[in-house]
Structure 1
Amino acid sequence: MERHDAAVSLLASQVKQFYDRKKQFRIYHGSTNSTRQSQYWPDSMVDTSRLSNVLAVDTEKKLALVEPNVPMDKLVEATMANGLVPPVVMEFPGITAGGGFAGTSGESSSFKYGFFDRTVNAIEMVLANGDIIQATSIENSDIFYGAAASFGTLGVATLLEIQLIDAKPFVELMYFPVTSVEESVRKFEEATADPSTDYLDGILFAKDNGVICVGRLKDKPDVGVRVQRFSRSTDPWFYLHARKLIAKSNKPVTEAIPLVDYLFRYDRGGFWVGAYAFQYFVTPFNRVTRWALDQFMHTRVMYHALHKSGHSKRYIIQDVAVPYEAAGEFVDYLEKSFGHYPLWLCPLRQRGQSEYSPHGLMAQTADPNAPTMLLNFGIWGPGPTRRRAFVDANRELEHKVHELRGQKWLYAHAYYTEQEFWDIYDRKEYDALRAKYHATYLPSVYDKVKVDVAAEEQALKESWKIWVLAKFWKVWPLSGIYGVCHAAIGGDYLKLRGKKKLA
């Protein structure tokens, strides 16, 4: 803890300097799993990238003491060495514990446990004025609840105490074929009601063709159940494997998957987004090419390439959730507006750290009739090629989700106007927390997640260099090659060279 305390003390002094000058800063983590364009000038950031250690695993209390930049694969490795695992594990190994807390992370166990932040018992924070505090559901409870999903706009989380559960070596996964959205919802409700269900998600390959995956932790495979892995370069991508299984049989199929392979089963190929890279480069998409290019098809590398290539501005990459009863109407809308398949389905227990707390950006407690469960849709695929049409498509999606009383997760591009955004989220509670904890000089959540289309268009009008570059990068396949080359070389893809003075 001495090393940790020294690092946090140094961080607090840096934050205080920004506070004394009332100068905005961004938190630099060293990597990102957001699709938003995140870039950092060295003189306008605080660096938390070295806070990346699992400090302790308490096997009796089933708790882990974790610094914010511990990625999921490192956390799982440390806890499983002690026979334990976090109840909610984000499905990309590079997503960090701090990112899961300060963002919004729900995965295939969230039908039972809720969002990742709900599995956090306590946090240490450097407030925006440089003070260091501890926060729990009892001590400083307002910022404990409010910091969840606040995207670092209330201060810097420097330590998390995370709940753990007993781990088992395998997940017994049952693949259930479904032929409609309504059947998918019924299967989700049935599996949720079964206390033996530990993991639950699904994939729609078409409106009338999908699979619901129901997982249970197991000590060993039952007799006759084959073991399937997904982490090696010779293993299949999970979604392709699931589609192949249900194509062979209209009956449920059962497999045993090593726990780590299950938790990160979507890492290779980034669910199925990696398939679009093969299309872009006009490359055959088969088992041999996937094996040959496997090093480029893991999410850490793919995020690197995505950011350097600028292709996040060309693809619809959104996670949204709607009430179960609206799922059919929403799929009709998606099919008509985008035509993207597959779609990821994931039932989420809709609450943040506490269903009783009014604090927290995502709490949305104003509606007492809000449903307990939402169905998350992962919508990932090419968007319209014209920038204005691309923006309009994203805005229509946001409006449709709001119309259906759903939610959109803010790791991705957000196109709301400021008024639209604060009509959804509780600005009064949020601003009160920012004032109480000295954070009003920092960028707000809206400032951090918005896509400023007007500023983009103005820059294109005012700078011929920006206009020429924009045209240049549209020439196939320049931007893709640039992104892949940077990903292959590695190194930092978020820091900007030189200095830029911010207010």
Structure 2
Amino acid sequence: MERHNAAVKAIASEVERFHQLQRPFRIYHGSTNSTRQSQHGPDNTISTADLTHVLDINTTTRTALVEPNVPMDALAQATAAHHLVPLVVMEFPGITVGGGFSGTSGESSSFRHGFFDATVNWIEFILPNGEITRASKTDRTDLFWGAASAFGTLGVVTMLEVQLRPAKPFIELRYYSTSSMDEAMHVFRAVTNDPSTEYLDGIVYARDHVVVCAGKLVDVPRTAPVRLTRPWDEWYYLRAQNRSHQSSGPALNQAAVDYIPLADYLFRYDRGAFWVGRYAYSYFFVPFIYLTRVLLDWFMHTRVMYHALHESGHAKRYIIQDVAVPYAGTSEFVNWLDNKENFGAYPIWLCPLRHGPGMMERSVSAAEKSTESEFEKKPNATTDDYYLMNFGLWAPSRHPSDRSAFLTQNRRLERKVLDLQGKKWLYAHAYYTEDEFWSIYDKKQYDALREKYHASYLPDLYQKVRVDLSPQQGSQNWVDWAKSVIWEIRPVSGLYGVYKALRGGEYFIRKSKTA
């Protein structure tokens, strides 16, 4: 802890200097799993890149004390040594504990435990005036829940206490094949009501083919274990698709079953970034077959893919959104997404989520935010009112070279989600106007929180996540024009992204250490 305390004191001193100058700063974590472009520079950045340690694991209280830049794979490995696992483990190994807390993260255990921030007991936090403090669900609760949804715009998280639970070596995973979203929702509700279900998500392969994947921890596999993380293993979404065809139907006794090592299951979507990696094969004119997936496996892990995505600029050509709608609207939403002008791409990820405070929506009262969340008050509630269905929508835009049409497509998606009384997560770009944004999120409460904790001089949430909707100016000279034309030639920009990923750099996760 001596090393940690010294590092935090040094960061706090830098924050205090920015505060004295009233100069806004951004936080550099040493990595990112956001799709937004970096806006860091030498004169506007506080670095927490060295806060990468698991500080303590307490087997009695089942908690881990961790610094914010510990990635999920390092945390899972450290807790596994004590036969424990975090309640919620984000699906990409490079997502950090701090990023999961500040960036609205959920995964297949979130139907039981809520978002990752709900599994954090307390945080150590540097206020924007340089003061080091703590906030929890019982002390400074407004700061705790505000920081859990403010994407670094309230200050700097420097340590977190994360809840753990007993682990077992394997996941027994059942694949239920359904022929419609209505049928899939019936299965989601049924397996949620089964207390033995501990992990739950799904994949929409087509409007008439939805697979529900429900798992539980077990000590001993009944069949040969299925691996998912080696170069020669099948990508998980392909495995799930194949196994769904071996399921005889949606009934709970008709599922195909796999036994998967726990770590393989937790990071099952890392290879291929769910299925987004398959688009790279098409972009580079490479056949998407088993042999090429084995040979190019190194490039298809999310740490490398995020780096290449940023450097190539292709985040501006893809629909990359996570949105959630109430259970009652799921079928309508799938039908709407099936329209090619709206989205028209498959697969789509499904992940049921328990409600909780955060993100400062107008629909959540200040009183709720200052107390424990609904899923903590009523852990056994199964009514639809306590759930949202997350839709992971990741595919090339139908209008990659037409910026206006691209913006329109994203804005149409945001409007549909609002019409269904849903919400979107802000790790990706937000295409709202400022007035639209603050009609969804409670600016009055947010500004009051920023004023209370000395954060008013920092960039606000909208400034951090927004997309510039103004028309782009034309090139100033023929050299700029020529560069832009060359960049558009397929696959020039993609090759540049691969080149930068091979070299390494800013977007790579630093290796975590256990103290």
Report TM bin, short chain: over 0.9
Query: Which SS does the other structure have where 1:172 is aligned?
Result: strand
Query: Which SS does the other structure have where 1:487 is aligned?
Result: helix
Superposed displacement of residue 34, structure 1: 0.6
- Give the counterpart of 1:340 among 337, 345, 356: 345
Superposed displacement of residue 463, structure 1: 6.9
The number of equivalent residue pairs is 485
Superposed displacement of residue 397, structure 1: 0.2
- Give the counterpart of 1:349 among 348, 354, 374: 354
- What residue in structure 2 maps to residue 443 of structure 1? 459
Q: Say if 1:218 and 1:370 are closer, same or farther in 2 by CA, change over 3 A.
A: closer
- What residue in structure 2 maps to residue 420 of structure 1? 436
State whether residues 120 and 162 of structure 2, in contact with CA within 8 Å, keep that contact through their aligned partners in structure 1: yes
State whether residues 170 and 258 of structure 1, in contact with CA within 8 Å, keep that contact through their aligned partners in structure 2: yes
- What residue in structure 1 maps to residue 323 of structure 2? 320
- What residue in structure 2 maps to residue 404 of structure 1? 420
- What residue in structure 2 maps to residue 498 of structure 1? none
State whether residues 228 and 264 of structure 2, in contact with CA within 8 Å, keep that contact through their aligned partners in structure 1: yes
Tell me how far apart the structure 1 counterparts of residues 458 and 158 of structure 2 sit (CA, whole Å). Answer: 17
- Give the counterpart of 1:257 among 260, 277, 280: 260
- What residue in structure 1 maps to residue 235 of structure 2? 237
Name the amino acid aligned to 1:340. Answer: A
Superposed displacement of residue 249, structure 1: 4.1
Tell me how far apart the structure 1 counterparts of residues 244 and 330 of structure 2 sit (CA, whole Å). Answer: 22
Name the amino acid aligned to 2:302. Answer: T
State whether residues 177 and 212 of structure 1, in contact with CA within 8 Å, keep that contact through their aligned partners in structure 2: yes
- What residue in structure 2 maps to residue 497 of structure 1? none
- After superposition, where does 1:73-472 map in structure 2 within 5 Å? 73-222=73-222, 225-250=223-248, 251-336=254-339, 337-352=342-357, 357-359=367-369, 371-383=385-397, 384-385=399-400, 386-454=402-470, 457-458=472-473, 460=474, 467-472=481-486
Superposed displacement of residue 371, structure 1: 2.9
Q: Say if 1:467 and 1:371 are closer, same or farther in 2 by CA, change over 3 A.
A: farther
Name the amino acid aligned to 1:474. Answer: E
Tell me how far apart the structure 2 counterparts of residues 470 and 12 of structure 1 sit (CA, whole Å). Answer: 42
**Structure 1 runs (4+) greater than 6 angstroms displaced:** 353-356
Query: TM-score scaled to structure 1, two decimals?
Result: 0.93
Name the amino acid aligned to 1:391. Answer: L
Q: Say if 1:420 and 1:464 are closer, same or farther in 2 by CA, change over 3 A.
A: farther
State whether residues 235 and 272 of structure 2, in contact with CA within 8 Å, keep that contact through their aligned partners in structure 1: yes
Tell me how far apart the structure 2 counterparts of residues 170 and 429 of structure 1 sit (CA, whole Å). Answer: 44
Tell me how far apart the structure 2 counterparts of residues 212 and 475 of structure 1 sit (CA, whole Å). Answer: 40
Superposed displacement of residue 470, structure 1: 3.1
Tell me how far apart the structure 1 counterparts of residues 506 and 209 of structure 2 sit (CA, whole Å). Answer: 41
Query: Which SS does the other structure have where 2:150 is aligned?
Result: coil
Query: Which SS does the other structure have where 1:17 is aligned?
Result: helix
Superposed displacement of residue 469, structure 1: 3.6
Name the amino acid aligned to 1:163. Answer: Q
User: What is the CA deviation profile of residues 136-177 of structure 1, one whole-angstrom value per residue up to 9, with x for unaligned ones?
Assistant: 122222101111011000000000000000011000000111
Tell me how far apart the structure 2 counterparts of residues 358 and 469 of structure 1 sit (CA, whole Å). Answer: 52
Name the amino acid aligned to 1:306. Answer: L
Tell me how far apart the structure 2 counterparts of residues 415 and 467 of structure 1 sit (CA, whole Å). Answer: 26
- What residue in structure 2 maps to residue 499 of structure 1? none
Query: TM-score scaled to structure 2, two decimals?
Result: 0.91
- What residue in structure 2 maps to residue 501 of structure 1? none
Q: Calculate percent identity across the aligned residue pairs.
A: 56
Superposed displacement of residue 231, structure 1: 0.7
Superposed displacement of residue 38, structure 1: 1.6
Quote the RMSD (CA, aligned, Å): 1.9
- What residue in structure 2 maps to residue 61 of structure 1? 61
Q: Say if 1:101 and 1:233 are closer, same or farther in 2 by CA, change over 3 A.
A: same
Identify the range of structure 1 (243-252 vs 347-356) with the bigger mean alpha-carbon deviation.
347-356
**Unaligned ranges ≥5, structure 2:** 249-253, 359-363, 375-382, 509-515
- What residue in structure 1 maps to residue 378 of structure 2? none
User: What is the CA deviation profile of residues 245-301 of structure 1, one whole-angstrom value per residue up to 9, with x for unaligned ones?
Assistant: 122443411111000000000000000000000000000111110000000000000
State whether residues 145 and 359 of structure 1, in contact with CA within 8 Å, keep that contact through their aligned partners in structure 2: yes
State whether residues 318 and 412 of structure 1, in contact with CA within 8 Å, keep that contact through their aligned partners in structure 2: yes
Superposed displacement of residue 462, structure 1: 5.7
Query: Which SS does the other structure have where 1:125 is aligned?
Result: strand
User: What is the CA deviation profile of residues 418-466 of structure 1, one whole-angstrom value per residue up to 9, with x for unaligned ones?
Assistant: 1111111111111111000000010111000001121x614x4667665
State whether residues 115 and 352 of structure 1, in contact with CA within 8 Å, keep that contact through their aligned partners in structure 2: no
Tell me how far apart the structure 1 counterparts of residues 481 and 192 of structure 2 sit (CA, whole Å). Answer: 52
**Unaligned ranges ≥5, structure 1:** 495-503
Query: Which SS does the other structure have where 1:121 is aligned?
Result: strand
Tell me how far apart the structure 2 counterparts of residues 117 and 329 of structure 1 sit (CA, whole Å). Answer: 30
Query: Which SS does the other structure have where 1:42 is aligned?
Result: coil
Superposed displacement of residue 113, structure 1: 0.4
Q: Say if 1:298 and 1:413 are closer, same or farther in 2 by CA, change over 3 A.
A: same
Name the amino acid aligned to 1:475. Answer: I
